[in-house]
Every structure is written in C-alpha cells, then in structure tokens.
Amino acid sequence: MTDILNQIAKTKQQKVRASLAKRKAQESRFRYYGIISISAAILFLVVLLSAIVSQGYTAFYTTEIKLDISLDKETLDLAEGELTQQALFQADYSRVLREAIKQEIAISGRKERKALYSFISTGAEYDLRDMVVAQPSLLGQNLSYWAQAGDLFNQYNKGNVDASVEEGSRSFKNQQIGWYKQLANEGRVRTVFNRNFFTNGDSRDAELAGIWGATVGSFYTLLVCFLISFPIGVAAATYLEEFAPKNKWTEMIEININNLAAVPSIVFGLLGLAIFLNLADLPRSAPLVGGLVLSLMTLPTIIISSRAAIKAVPPSIKDAALGVGASKVQSVTHHVLPVAMPGMLTGTIIGMAQALGETAPLIMIGMVAFIVDVPQGPLDAATALPVQIYLWAENPEKGFAENTSAAIMVLLAFLAFMNTCAVLLRKRLERRW
C-alpha cells in the first residue's frame, strides 16, 4: 500500500514539476515578447527620427555668395535729382546683383546668362533694397555684399545634389558646377545660419520659405481653442460629476462624450465647414475658425480628463466642507476644483498638443491656402504648422523636402515641450493624500 502511495506521489510530483517548468517557460516567453515589442518600437522611433533629422538639419543653414557690387545711380536706374525713399525703394537692385556676378563668371548667350542668374536668390535683391533704404549714404559706393544663393546653388553647396548622376537627370548642370567651384576657390561662398526659415512666411522659393507665418497661425488657433474648450470642458465635467442627476439622459450624454473622443478629426472639419463657414459665414482660412473646429475636437478629451481628476479628489474633502456649513457650490468651487485643477490642466495640455498636430480639420476649412503674410490677428488669413508641412511635402523640389523635415522637427519640439509642461505641472501642483 505504501509503495502504491509513493508511486502516486512520485507521479504527481513529476507532473507538478513539469507544469511549473511549462509555466516558467510561458512567463519567460511572455517577458521576451514584451522586450522585443518595446525594442522594435524604440528601433522604429529611432529610424524615424534619424530619417527626419538627417534630411532636415540642412535647412537650418543656407549659402551666400560674395559679390563686389556698385551702387551707382546708373546701375540702380535712378534719375538725377532729389532721392526720395520711394525712389530708393523702387530702384533696380536685381540689375546690381546680376552685373556683379557677371563680373565674376564669364558667360555668353542667353542660356548661360539665365543659368548664372539662378545662382542669386530673388530674396537677395530685397535684402539689398532694405539695406540701401536704411542707409542711403551707401549710394555711389562700391562694396562687397554677401548675396543669398538660389535654391540649386544652395543645395549643391550642402551636398544634396549628387554630381555623379548623369547630367541630363539633374537640374544643376556641369557648367554650373564649374562656376560653383570657381567661386568657392576664390573664397566667395560661405555657409551661414538660415534665419529666413524662422522669420519668414511661406514662399514659392524654397530658400526664402519659413515657418514664422504658420507658427503665428498655430498660436492664434490654439489660443482660440484653449479659451473656448477649457472653460466649457471644465464646466461640463464639474456638472456631470457633481451636480447632474444619475438618470438615463445623463448616462446617454456621458456615452456620447466618450464616443466623440474617438471620432476621426476630419468629421469635425466637415462640421466646422458646414456651421462656421457656410452657416455663420465666418472668414475662411482664419485662425478663429480653426480654433473653433479644434475646440470641438478637444472638448471630449478635456471633459474626460477633468472628470477623472474630480473623481480622484478624496470625498472627505468635500464632506468636511459640507460638514462646516459650506453649500454644495462652495464645497466644489472652493475645495474640489482647486485640488483637481492639476489633473484638469494636464489633460487640457495633452488635448492642445493633439490639436497642434492636426491637419485634416484645418484643410476642410481652407487653412491649406498659400499665404505669404504673417497673420496679425485671429481674423487674418493664415495657415498652421502641420498644414504648412503638408503643403511643402507636396512640392518635389529638394529645398522644400529639407524644409518639410525641418518643420517636422520644430513641430515635434513643440509637442515635446507641451508634454513636458504637462508632466512638470502635474508634479508641481499635485497633492498626495
């Protein structure tokens, strides 16, 4: 009998050991699957960021060509007599730059002249004009001037044009490469920080295009979005959590708010197009309309996060306030909301960061137009940073390709900044119980 029991115990012991070994193997495999998933996600993120940075960092610098220019009246096509600011403003600065570069490179024929003139950006004449208008005493002088290079010259200097490719397959021809080398050997080519990228609006010329107009447009759009969505979202969350009766209507509202958070953003764009543009006749492409549309999209996120923050407040705080004679409104406004505010602000910042990266709803309300000027207010026509990226990405020119990646880097920096603010704000203001 004892032998039989020992045999049964031995068999069970072997089964238990086998089961434990199998369970440990499953746990190990599960842990490895998790590590592999996280590693793959980090690898994809690194590859993505590396591709963006490697293609976009060259947009932060540009190329200039040193020219010996002559600011005499004949070259500037200025009439004799009193020189007014208007006359200086309308002078022919393009001719000055063209005459100067022709002195450096010997050319013949209309085709070569056109190829050589493309070395100078159209923005160079405006910079020269501003300099002469600001200092009229420069008239009549001969001086050295660093002119901004055109896009092809700029791209070749950055190494973005492969000279080994067959000449017929590239825009920068062998003759132009020879001219570039001649200027470079004479010390007339330099690389400088591209301030135009951060101070200009959009442009048809890649070397002159900048993100400032889109950045200001995004600022006004987010400002309108915050001013509308934050007070309405907090008020709605407070009512639903503290004052609303628990019935089927309230339950239906809560379900719909949760569902709205998952609605595709383009649907909000269609809603904004129908209500704010077609019905209310608000100005198209204005940050005001963009902010209204994004506030509709952000409201569910703010309401849900605000309700979660209110629920996290210990009930004893509200009960203590009621116990000393405070009304329901006083207990909520004086005690519950101040404690829940860090969580509310965190949810709001995250919602705003999501709105900052949205493109589809803004395209639906016309913020995809080509707008050169920087908006001066929320009613001016403007575009937004993600829409600007979308517009540049459609352009096949090499200069716009690097501008697109650089703008994505700036947008990611803004998003990281806003998320960092949300984390710091939560840690700074949260109270532990």
Query: What pLDDT band is residue 79 in, cutting at 50, 70 and 90?
Result: confident
Query: What pLDDT band is residue 233 in, cutting at 50, 70 and 90?
Result: very high
CA–CA dist 298, 296 (Å, integer)? 6
CA–CA dist 422, 353 (Å, integer)? 10
Quick one: the chain helix, strand, coil %, rounded to 5? Answer: 70, 5, 25
CA–CA dist 210, 409 (Å, integer)? 14
Q: What dihedral do alpha carbons 163, 166, 172, 176 form, nearest 10°?
A: 80
Residue 432 has pLDDT above 80, yes or no: no
Which DSSP state fits 395? -
SS3 category, 143: strand
CA–CA dist 42, 345 (Å, integer)? 29
Q: Give pLDDT tens digits for 130-143.
A: 998 888 888 888 88
More confident residue, 433 or 296: 296
Residue 1: its pLDDT value, please? 61
- Tell me which residue has tokens 């021809």: 173
Structure tokens at 372: 């050169």
Structure tokens at 419: 């998320």
Question: What is the pairing mode between strands 61-70 and 189-193?
Answer: antiparallel
Do residues 234 and 344 touch, judged by C-beta distance below 8 A? yes
Structure tokens at 384: 């937004």
Which DSSP state fits 394? T
Q: Which of 385, 376, 370, 337 shows the shortest CA–CA distance to 214?
A: 385
Q: Give pLDDT tens digits for 31-42.
A: 999 999 999 999
> Residues near 351 by Cβ (< 8 Å), separated by ≥ 6?
229, 298, 301, 302, 305
Query: pTM of whole model > 0.75?
Result: yes
Phi-psi region of 356 (alpha: psi -120 to 50; beta: other; left: phi over 0): alpha
Kindly report the length of the chain. Answer: 433
Backbone angles phi, psi at 410, to 5 degrees: -65, -45
> Residues near 187 by Cβ (< 8 Å), separated by ≥ 6?
66
Residue 420's H or E segment, with its range, is: helix 398-429
Amino acid at site 123:
G
Q: Give pLDDT tens digits for 302-335.
A: 999 999 999 988 888 888 988 888 888 899 989 8
Residue 32: its pLDDT value, please? 93
List the domains of the chain with CATH numbers.
60-193 (no CATH), 211-429 (1.10.3720.10)
CA–CA dist 335, 48 (Å, integer)? 46
Phi-psi region of 84 (alpha: psi -120 to 50; beta: other; left: phi over 0): beta
| For the chain, counts of helices (H) and of strands (E) | 19, 3
Structure tokens at 263: 């609605």
Q: Give pLDDT tens digits for 60-75.
A: 999 999 999 988 888 8
Q: What is the DSSP string of 373-402?
A: SPPSSTTS----HHHHHHHHHT--SHHHHH
Lowest mean pLDDT across 115-129, 230-244, 369-383: 369-383
Q: How far from 396 is each of 9, 49, 382, CA to CA, in Å?
A: 76, 21, 23
Lowest mean pLDDT across 8-22, 75-89, 114-128: 75-89
CA–CA dist 129, 145 (Å, integer)? 12
% of the chain exceeding 70 in pLDDT: 98
Which residue pairs, CB below 8 angstroms and at least 24 apart, start in 336-339?
Answer: 336/242, 336/310, 337/234, 337/238, 337/310, 339/313, 339/431
- Tell me which residue has tokens 């009229």: 136
pLDDT (mean) for 398-408: 91
Average pLDDT, the chain: 88
SS3 category, 312: coil
